[in-house]
Amino acid sequence: MIREKSHAAVVRAKELMPGGVNSAARAFGAVGGEPIVIDRAEGAYLFDLDGNQYLDYIGSWGPMILGHRHPRVVAALTAAIERGTSYGAPTLAENELAELLIDAVASVEKVRLVNSGSEATMTAIRLARGYTGRDLIVKFAGNYHGHVDSLLVAAGSAAATLGAPDSQGVTTGAAKDTLIANYNDVGSISAIFAEHEERIAAVIFEPVVGNMGCVIPQHDFLAALRSLTREHGALLICDEVMTGFRVAYGGAQSLWPIDPDLTTLGKIAGGGMPLAALGGRGEIMDHILPAGKVFQAGTLSGNPIATAAGIATLRELQEHPPYERLEQLAARLAAGLQEAATEAGLPHTLARVGSMMTLFFHDQPVTDWDVAAQCDTQRYAQYFWGMMDRNVYLPCSQYEALFVSAAHTEDDIDRTVAAAKQTCQQIAQT
Ligand code: KE4
């Protein structure tokens, strides 16, 4: 496949930006080779600078649940731009998006709009510490909550992909109050509370992990998180930046009894524009400045263009819920990907919740980071490029989830499965 223009662009990009990218997750570090430089997108497809067309299963790492350039979102953005791009002052659109978020997530009574998931989780941590007057935060190995110093400890996603789960530059001081537990391991979280009791401000977790690949929570684990935090007066922060509006309109917490104190949202909530949110119980959220004394601010927070995309996306999801269709398409894809690997004799497991899933090159179900770390990431790299060369764009890491959009068709799924069968046979012969 000709990718000369992409290559030239990447060479120049590396002279201009560290690694030639503006997010480490896009660097293809774990799969080798170079990123593909995208020219445009439409529906379920990406088109690179050389005119190659790819079936897109990244969807901008989650936001594009409706597919690219959905007419309703494009129209809303066009109309918003006619009125200006940023005022740095309140707008009615912020009220409208706030109402949509509050109506969607049962545990959320108030929200603060921000520009990225990292900002949302950073604010959540600060709020939890301000509200409780405590310092310690608990997170889980392999969970990724954005590039927040205190959360870049044993992190997933690009941090795990590129072997930097504990980033340089994160000082001992920044990380000393972060405790690491094992996902799906009630004993590990119980032991932390037994040792630290009332010094813990909050536990933050992914209700379906996307950032060590897709890992499904066991229900006793979810129940333990809520009972332990409640028993010890710590807040429970449910990071739904990826799962919000993805696994269900109301997020993972609408599928299972989680009842968090705070929730972070992003990705789909912004319809592909830079927008995220922190939400939760009103009496907690009212500790955020200017209502309370926990500082938070942002030049472009609640920006009219970003809110227009978010409102259009959520209204479309409300009025034409794609979740049944996504379930059918994703189930068809999952069955086909598993069949392809099985027929080729490649040890694998697959985890899926709704339209997010991961095919792991490991013969055991992946339940936590210790198991995820045993995956055959070299085989995943072969799989990634085999699919890429067959015009299927998958996540560039074993430790990410793929996403099906409402723009994908049964034919797209079947073509993806056919590409997977060829790719797996090709891998099995190496
Ligand atoms: P952002 O700051 O990237 O908007 O959101 C951080 C974040 C927070 N919480 C969860 C559960 C997340 O998945 C993320 C970001 N996800 C990664 C992909 N796994 C974003 C991709 C990237 O970093 O480029």
User: What does the pLDDT read at residue 69?
Assistant: 98
Asked if residue 186 lies in contact with residue 223, where contact means CB atoms within 8 angstroms, the answer is no
Superfamily of domain 4-65+322-428: Aspartate Aminotransferase, domain 1 (3.90.1150.10)
Question: Tell me, what's the pLDDT at 174?
Answer: 86
How many angstroms does the Cα of residue 411 sit away from the middle of ligand 1? 30
pTM of this prediction exceeds 0.95 = yes
Question: Which residues does the annotation mark as catalytic?
Answer: 144, 239, 267
Q: How far apart are CA 101 and CA 114, in angstroms?
A: 13
Closest CA to 274 of 119, 122, 387, 410: 119
Arch. (CATH architecture) of 71-319 = 3-Layer(aba) Sandwich (3.40)
Q: If residue 166 lies in a helix (H) or strand (E), which one and from where to where?
A: none
Pocket test for ligand 1, best of 242, 245, 399 (most atoms within 8 A of CB): 242
Per-residue pLDDT at 165 = 67
* Contact criterion met (CB below 8 Å) for 145 and 155: yes
Distance (angstroms) between ligand 1 centre and the Cα of 425 equals 33
Write the burial class of residue 135 (CB in 10 Å: 0-12 exposed, 13-18 middle, 19+ buried).
middle
Contact 307, 96 (CB under 8 A): yes
Same fold, 4-65+322-428 and 71-319: no
pLDDT of 173 reads: 87
Spell out the per-residue pLDDT of the chain, length 430, in tens. Answer: 999 999 999 999 999 999 999 999 999 999 999 999 999 999 999 999 999 999 999 999 999 999 999 999 999 999 999 999 999 999 999 999 999 999 999 999 999 999 999 999 999 999 999 999 999 999 999 999 999 999 998 888 887 777 666 888 998 888 889 999 999 999 999 999 999 989 999 999 999 999 999 999 998 999 999 999 999 999 999 999 999 999 999 999 999 999 999 999 999 999 999 999 999 999 999 999 999 999 999 999 999 999 999 999 999 999 999 999 999 999 999 999 999 999 999 999 999 999 999 999 999 999 999 999 999 999 999 999 999 999 999 999 999 999 999 999 999 999 999 999 999 999 999 8
User: Residue ranges of the domains in the chain?
Assistant: 4-65+322-428, 71-319
Predicted pLDDT of residue 153: 87
Number of other residues whose CB lies within 10 A of the CB of residue 305: 20
